[in-house]
Structure 1
Amino acid sequence: MQTFHSLNILTHVSFGTLGLFLGLLALGYQNKSRQHIRYGRYFLYTLTVVVVTAFIGILFFRSSSFLLMLTLLGGYVGFSGYRAVRLRERQTTLLDVSITLIVLVTSALYLRRLQAGDISWSPAVVYPTLSALVLVTGYDLIKHFWLYKRLRTWWLYEHIYKMLSAYSAVLSAFSGTVLPQFKPYSQILPSVLCVSAIIYFIRRQSRRPAANTGYAQIRTRDRRISDRFN
């Protein structure tokens, strides 16, 4: 069992480190659609392995409140960010809503367990992570049931927010593990940096329709990019 645990940790760390590198490549090639999509896919593959190995570690070897919340957040925003660019302006499906509800309920039940039990946890880290998870799942549910027509054109902004959030989750887990002596700052600072990046890239994207290319050409370009995910 110890050998399996060691192998699981090695796989988790290796793919997490690789994911950080691939995420930067995808971000660096954002203006080159072919490379951006290729490295974005690779990042999602590594994120999937990271999430699966994290759940294995949490379920069978060591339970960590921070890592569980981060795993739920990273896994969900990675999935939802991919779905945003795949569906584009189409409405999310029953599968999407089901996964959203499962993640939301799971996080709520685990928080209740933390508050009622003797498990060691840091509110300064868990509450912000849970808040980010509630924010994105709540948005997805509200969009699906009530504001789909109004928010359907925001899919590219959603993609930016969610994929950078997934990267933030991996980076926070990495820095929190590598720099435990600086907790909780080593866990919080990556989130602050990535939120700043989210604001920057969304603002830059929102200003592009005002450029000389025109809004119609921007939409055509974005449509070609999203079609390659299908």
Structure 2
Amino acid sequence: METLHSINLIIHISFGLAAMGLGVVALRAPKKRGPHTRFGRYFLYAISVVLETGLMGAILFRASPFLVMLTLLAGYVSYAGWRIVRLREKRSSTRDVACALLAFTSGLFFLGIAKTSDASWNPSVIYSTFGALSLVTTYDLVKHYWLHESLKGGWLYEHIYKMLSAFSALLSAFAGNVLPQCQPYSQLGPSILGMVMMIWYMRQVTRSQGKPV
């Protein structure tokens, strides 16, 4: 099992690093069909492997509950960020609702485990991560059932928020592991950077009168 754990960990870290690199390329590319779309798709592929290996680590090898929750956040918002581009102003599907509920309940489960067994992670980081996951899943559910008509025009802003949330979650996991002596700032810093980037990109969209990606 130790060998399998090492292999799983290597794959998890490798694809996490690849996802961050691909995310940077997608962010720097012109926001239209072409490199932005292509590298964004590669980013999603890498994130899916990160999510799968993270969950495998939690189930088989007792990986850090907080890191699993952070991986869960990155996985869900990247999926939701991809789906909103496909749907645009259409209502989300039953499958999307199921994914949101699964992500929220899984996050709640790992929050309970992290509070009792993951002493190496600061509570402020644990709660902020679960808070971010709760915010986006609740928004998606409320939009689906009650406020679709009112919120459907903001699909591009949703895409920006969700994809940058995924990117900053990866950065937070990376920085937290590479700079453990700087916790919790090494984990909170990428989240703050992500918020700044979201505001900047949203302002760019507003200035360009909301032209599609």
TM-score, scaled to structure 1: 0.87
Deviation at 1:122, TM superposition (A): 2.6
Matched, 1:87 2:78: no
SS at match of 2:38: helix
Query: Gapped runs of 5+ residues in structure 1?
Result: 210-214, 226-230
CA, structure 1 residues 63+14, in 2 after alignment: closer, same or farther (shift >3 Å)? closer
Q: For 1:167-223, what per-residue CA distance to the aligned partner results, in whole angstroms no more than 9, with x for missing partners? A: 0111111111111111111111011101110111012111211xxxxx7xx3xxx2x
Aligned residue in 1 for 2:171: 171
Instruction: Quote the residue 2:153 is aligned against.
Output: 153
* Structure 1 residue 108: Cα displacement: 2.1
Deviation at residue 65 of structure 1 after TM alignment: 2.8
| 2:126 alignment partner AA | V
| Alpha carbons 1:75, 1:166 under 8 Å: kept | yes
Q: Do residues 17 (structure 1) and 17 (structure 2) align? A: yes
Q: How far apart, CA to CA, are the structure 1 residues paired with 2:138 and 2:127?
A: 16
* In 1: Cα distance, 2:51 partner to 2:109 partner: 19
Which residue matches 2:109? 109
For the 8 Å contact 2:80–2:162, the answer to whether it is kept is yes
Between stretches 121-130 and 19-28, larger displacement belongs to: 121-130
Cα distance in 2 for residues equivalent to 1:119 and 1:20? 25
Alignment match, 1:54: 54
For residues 57 and 176 of structure 1, the distance between their equivalents in structure 2, rounded to whole angstroms, comes to: 18
Counterpart CA distance in 1 for 2:14 and 2:81 is 23
Q: Write the distance in 2 (CA, Å) between the matches of 1:131 and 1:158.
A: 17
Conserved in 2, the CA contact under 8 Å of 1:12 and 1:49?
yes
Structure 1 window deviating more from structure 2 (148-157 vs 121-130): it is: 121-130
CA-CA distance at 1:110 after TM superposition:
3.1
Distance 2:203 2:180 in 1: 34
Displacement of 1:164 after TM fit? Answer: 0.5
Question: How much does 1:38 deviate?
Answer: 0.5
Per the TM alignment, residue 9 of structure 1 is displaced from its structure 2 partner at its CA by 1.1
Contact 1:65 1:126 in 2 (8 A): no
Q: 1:31 to 1:79 in 2, by over 3 A?
A: closer
User: Structure 1 residues 107 and 23, CA, compared in 2 at 3 Å: closer, same or farther?
Assistant: same
Cα distance in 2 for partners of 1:198, 1:87 equals 21
Contact 2:92 2:144 in 1 (8 A): yes
Q: Is contact 2:74-2:169 (8 Å) kept?
A: yes
TM-score, normalised to structure 2, is 0.94
Verify the 8 A CA contact 1:100 1:137 in the aligned structure 2: yes
Provide the residue aligned with 1:185 in structure 2. Answer: 185
Distance in 2 (CA, whole Å) between partners of 1:168 and 1:114 is 20
Number of residue-to-residue matches in the alignment: 212
Give 1:30 shift: 3.2
CA distance in 1, matches of 2:179, 2:112: 28
Amino acid at match of 1:36: H
Q: Which has the larger radius of gyration?
A: 1
Deviation at 1:56, TM superposition (A): 1.1
Residue pairs, 1:203-222, within 5 angstroms: 203-209=203-209, 218=211, 222=212
Cα gap change, 1:69/1:24 in structure 2, threshold over 3 Å: closer, same or farther?
Answer: same
* CA deviation vs aligned residue, 1:76-133 (integer Å, no higher than 9, x gap): 0011000000111110000000111111122223334445x45535311101111111
Structure 1 residues 71-86: aligned runs within 5 Å: 71-86=71-86
Report percent identity of matched pairs. 48
Cα RMSD (Å):
1.5
